[in-house]
């Protein structure tokens, strides 16, 4: 079926997969996602480290350029001391290679070492944990991989790619490696010319870069951990305040579905002023309305059974009597009684069918603008065409309003049925020489339809009961079973389905009789009565 297919398509929409998660899980997921975005600061730290390394390498290249200038300007006997002072000041190691790749000099061989590559196996476990975290974060952020540093067994220019690159291009070259303890080992090479062309290799163990990056990572980790803990606690609190009352409401709804509506108390959560409180009260009201509908259905079924028993019993009695009576006159009388009872049954079945369907039909009807004045005028014209001129009946008088002043939003067919039932009721209580007065006016934001009759009037105690199903107090002399007792009940259902009211009262002019008043909300933007 097409509707089932559309429902299936909706259930398979891209967003429905999230509905498979519980509400608590989704709240946690959303809040943790926000924390994960905060943790993106680790990506920034990777670029921050790269900038630190690039800046340090550029500084090393500038320092080599200055060393080249200083060595070129110094006397030969001053150059060794200048190299030692430069290595000590920059905490670096300087190696000089001849054009053929031979190692000419090494600052570590000529003086004390300015840095020491530490053996990670001799360090405490905290350093191992720190290095493991570094590797994990580098893997998460996708940091580029760099080679590990190994001291060449035979120290020549060919052992250092940056030296070969500098000798080949004549420009400064650099390289990034990891020391054994995973700290940056930076190197820069440059060709210098004094006496004979040489290539100087400057290496530096930049532990301060690792310390700086680790310190920033630690600060971000502390912030992320605190935010994560706060987010989880707030998420659990939020889930508790949302999920628990929803579960209570769901359990109550399931019990109502299982047929225990009478014994279920749907929590109204009066202390909550949020959407869940509104939902709880709406479900409670819906359950109460369901109980009332169930009770109304039961009462209606009982009333229908009671009302149908009398004519059925009368028909059965008439049929049984046909076999016992001898005269044609008695037989004709019994057939007439059976015919009247069958007609009564037909009216009852038709009105019962109408009464049982009117609520459901109104809920599906699309309302449209209806000019009540023009509708009543058309109704009365049709009624006049159907009435036999030779039959005495009460006269109908209608005070027609100005066109467009009594416009309401509704179902024209249903409103016509409601007003027609009220007019029928007024005619049935009015004498043959009586007058039924009908009026339609607009007062403020309401349209009033009033029907006055010349009947005996309605006792105040009965003014609400007359709108109940199967309530019927007919005038003396009226044939039994002419009315089903559902006309006014159907009229009230239709009027209330249009957000209106219907009531009975005494006539405004003080004359004997009853006045039935229908009040309907006027269409917005309609003309006011002059």
Q: Are residues 372 and 357 in the same domain?
A: no
Q: Are residues 93 and 200 in the same domain?
A: yes
Among candidate residues 160, 184, 217, the one where a domain is terminated: 217
Contact 87, 149 (CB under 8 A): no
Task: Identify whether 355 is part of a domain.
Answer: yes
Q: Which of 492, 493, 499 is nearest to 516 (CA)?
A: 492
Token pair for 229:
């803990």
- Return the pLDDT at 530: 39
Q: Are residues 329 and 377 in the same domain?
A: no
Q: Which residues, 6+ apart, have CB-to-CB distance to 270 below 8 Å?
A: 277, 281
Alpha carbon distance 472, 460 (integer Å): 15
Burial 122-156 (b: 16+ CB within 10 A, else e): eeeeeeeebbeebeebbeeeebeeeeebeeeeebe
Q: Are residues 427 and 517 in the same domain?
A: yes
Q: Are residues 374 and 358 in the same domain?
A: no
Q: CATH number of the domain that 209 lies in?
A: 3.30.450.20
Quick one: which H or E segment has residue 299?
A: helix 275-322
Work out how many domains the chain is built from and give that number. Answer: 3
Q: CATH number of the domain that 456 lies in?
A: 3.30.565.10
Q: Are residues 80 and 125 in the same domain?
A: yes
- Cα angle: 104, vertex 110, 114; to 5 degrees: 110
Task: Identify whether 376 is part of a domain.
Answer: yes
Q: Are residues 295 and 395 in the same domain?
A: no
Q: Are residues 79 and 98 in the same domain?
A: yes
Reading the chain (530 residues) residue by residue, the pLDDT tens digits are: 444 444 444 444 444 444 456 666 767 777 777 666 666 666 666 677 888 889 999 999 999 999 988 888 888 888 888 888 999 999 999 999 998 899 999 999 888 888 888 888 877 777 778 777 777 777 766 777 889 998 898 999 999 999 999 999 989 999 999 988 889 999 999 998 877 889 999 999 998 888 888 887 788 778 778 877 887 787 777 777 777 888 888 888 787 777 655 666 777 777 777 777 788 888 888 877 777 777 766 666 666 665 667 677 777 777 777 777 777 787 787 788 777 777 777 766 766 666 666 666 666 778 899 999 899 998 888 888 777 666 677 888 888 888 888 999 988 888 888 888 888 888 888 888 888 999 999 998 999 999 998 888 888 888 787 777 666 665 554 444 445 567 788 888 888 888 899 998 888 888 888 888 999 998 876 555 43
Q: Are residues 352 and 212 in the same domain?
A: no
Q: CATH number of the domain that 273 lies in?
A: 1.10.287.130
Q: What separation in angstroms does the CA of 386 have from each of 61, 340, 383, 390, 400?
A: 113, 22, 5, 12, 21
Q: Are residues 374 and 427 in the same domain?
A: yes
pTM above 0.85, yes or no: no
Q: Are residues 334 and 419 in the same domain?
A: no
Contact 437, 508 (CB under 8 A): no
SS3 218: helix
Please give the order of strands across the beta sheet that includes 103-106.
103-106, 93-97, 196-205, 184-194, 173-178
Task: Identify whether 12 is part of a domain.
Answer: no
Contact 405, 442 (CB under 8 A): yes
């Amino acid at each position: 079926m097409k509707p089932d297919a559309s429902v299936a398509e909706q259930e398979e929409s891209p967003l429905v997969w999230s509905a498979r998660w519980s509400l608590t899980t989704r709240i946690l997921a959303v809040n943790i996602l926000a924390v994960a975005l905060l943790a993106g600061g680790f990506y920034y730290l990777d670029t921050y480290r790269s900038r630190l390394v690039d800046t340090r390498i550029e500084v090393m290249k500038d320092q080599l350029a200055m060393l080249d200038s200083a060595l070129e300007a110094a006397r030969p006997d001053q150059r060794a001391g200048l190299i030692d002072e430069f290595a000590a000041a920059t905490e670096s190691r300087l190696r000089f290679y001849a054009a053929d790749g031979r190692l000419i000099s090494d600052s570590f061989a000529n003086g004390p070492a300015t840095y020491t590559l530490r053996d990670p196996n001799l360090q405490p476990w905290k350093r191992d944990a720190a290095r493991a975290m570094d590797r994990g974060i580098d893997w998460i952020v996708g940091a580029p991989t760099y080679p590990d540093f190994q001291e060449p067994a035979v120290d020549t220019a060919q052992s250092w790619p940056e030296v070969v690159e500098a000798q080949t291009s004549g420009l400064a070259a650099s390289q990034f490696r990891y020391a054994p303890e995973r700290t940056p080992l930076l190197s820069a090479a440059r060709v210098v010319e004094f006496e004979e062309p040489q290539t100087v290799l400057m290496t530096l163990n930049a532990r301060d870069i690792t310390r700086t990056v680790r310190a920033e990572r630690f600060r971000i980790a502390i912030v992320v951990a605190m935010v994560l803990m706060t987010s989880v606690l707030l998420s659990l609190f939020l889930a508790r305040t949302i999920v628990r009352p929803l579960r209570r409401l769901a359990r109550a709804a399931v019990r109502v579905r299982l047929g225990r509506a009478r014994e279920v108390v749907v929590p109204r959560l009066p202390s909550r002023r949020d959407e869940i409180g509104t939902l709880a009260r709406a479900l409670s009201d819906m359950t109460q309305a369901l109980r009332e509908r169930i009770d109304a259905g039961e009462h209606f079924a009982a009333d229908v059974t009671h009302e149908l028993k009398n004519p059925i019993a009368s028909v059965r009695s008439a049929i049984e009597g046909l076999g016992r009576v001898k005269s044609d006159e008695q037989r004709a009388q019994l057939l007439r009684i059976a015919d009247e009872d069958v007609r009564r049954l037909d009216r009852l079945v038709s009105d019962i069918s109408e009464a049982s369907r009117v609520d459901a039909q109104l809920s599906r009807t699309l309302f449209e603008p209806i000019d009540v004045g023009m509708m009543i005028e058309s109704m009365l014209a049709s009624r006049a065409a159907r009435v036999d001129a030779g039959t005495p009946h009460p006269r109908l008088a209608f005070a027609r309003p100005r066109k467009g002043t009594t416009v309401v939003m509704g179902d024209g067919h249903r409103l016509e049925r409601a007003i027609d039932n009220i007019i029928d009721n007024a005619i049935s209580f009015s004498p043959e020489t009586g007058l039924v007065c009908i009026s339609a006016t607009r007062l403020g934001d309401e349209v009033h339809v009033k029907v006055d009759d010349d009947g005996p009037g309605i006792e105040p105690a009965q003014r609400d009961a007359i709108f109940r199903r199967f309530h019927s107090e007919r005038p003396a002399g009226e044939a039994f079973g002419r009315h089903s007792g559902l006309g006014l009940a159907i009229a009230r259902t239709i009027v209330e389905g249009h957000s209106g009211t219907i009531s009975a009262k005494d006539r405004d002019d003080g004359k004997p009789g009853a006045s039935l008043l229908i009040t309907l909300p006027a269409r917005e933007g309609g003309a006011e009565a002059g």
